[in-house]
């Protein structure tokens, strides 16, 4: 069975695919999102994953969606159970991301018309999610394997759509995209100390650098 024959596959949001970059926003509290998201938008970021490990993400969701949905694909990440996935569906997330391989979550999301990106590392985990109908699979933690891993995966799974996550820096984003990733999922190397009171001008510069690298990769 190839990815092309899996029923119910949903495409990732167009803005996310065009940008080839997803910023994973993991903060100490949801109240800290706004100032950082303002800078990311100004720098050209067009897709942000808000994580459920940030306390209060669902409480802040409606206000954040109203404020940013015209310029950002807002996804919900670190979804690990059916209850939280149901809340993400009801909240109107642009996509959901999970760090685990669970075909039941893939089915729940796709049945609701919501693109889902499940995480995994081994070929068995990644293909299990892909064959279940995932929009893309998240190679996590990608730093364990490196961009050549995606090239190797494409041998038995030529149609698989994948993105790396976990420690992807600027050079790594370029390398993964060159290897065929649909997008780079980036957290700490881009955000740095922004959620801990860091320099927002420096954040803007880092974000612009990632935007430029991913745009260049998309032009190749």
Active site residues: 49, 138
Q: Which residues are CB-neighbours of 197 under 8 A, at least 6 positions away?
A: none
- How far apart (Å, rounded) are the C-alpha atoms in residues 32 and 55? 11
Quick one: tokens of 44?
């050209």
Per the rule left: phi > 0, alpha: psi between -120 and 50, beta: everything else, 7 is: beta
DSSP 13: P
Sequence-ordered list of residues with C-beta below 8 angstroms from that of 210, at least 6 positions apart, any chain: 21, 45, 170, 173, 184, 186, 190
Specify which residues 185 forms β-bridges with. Answer: 22, 165
Continuous segment of H or E residues that includes residue 142: none
In 3-state terms, the chain is what percent helix, strand and coil (to 5)? 50, 15, 35
In the chain, alpha helices (H): 14-19, 33-43, 57-68, 82-91, 103-111, 123-132, 148-153, 170-178, 188-191, 200-219
């Amino acid at each position: 069975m190839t990815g092309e024959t899996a029923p119910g596959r949903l495409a990732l949001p167009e803005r996310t695919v065009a940008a080839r970059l997803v910023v994973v926003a993991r903060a100490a509290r949801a109240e800290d999102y706004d100032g950082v998201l303002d800078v990311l938008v100004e720098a050209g970021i067009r897709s942000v994953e808000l994580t459920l490990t940030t306390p209060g993400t669902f409480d802040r969701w409606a206000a954040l969606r109203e404020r940013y949905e015209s310029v950002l694909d807002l996804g919900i990440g670190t979804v690990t159970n059916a209850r939280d996935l149901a809340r993400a569906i009801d909240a109107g997330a642009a996509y959901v991301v999970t760090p685990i391989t669970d075909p039941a979550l893939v089915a729940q999301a796709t049945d609701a018309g919501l693109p889902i990106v499940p995480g995994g590392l081994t070929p068995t985990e990644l293909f299990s999610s892909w064959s279940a109908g995932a929009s893309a699979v998240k190679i996590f933690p990608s730093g364990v394997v490196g961009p050549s891993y995606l090239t190797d995966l494409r041998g038995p799974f030529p149609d698989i759509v994948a993105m790396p996550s976990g420690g992807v820096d600027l050079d790594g984003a370029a390398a993964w995209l060159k290897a065929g990733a649909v997008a780079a999922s980036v957290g700490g190397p881009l955000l740095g100390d922004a959620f801990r009171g860091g320099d927002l001008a420096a954040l803007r510069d880092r974000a612009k650098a990632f935007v430029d690298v991913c745009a260049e990769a998309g032009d190749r």
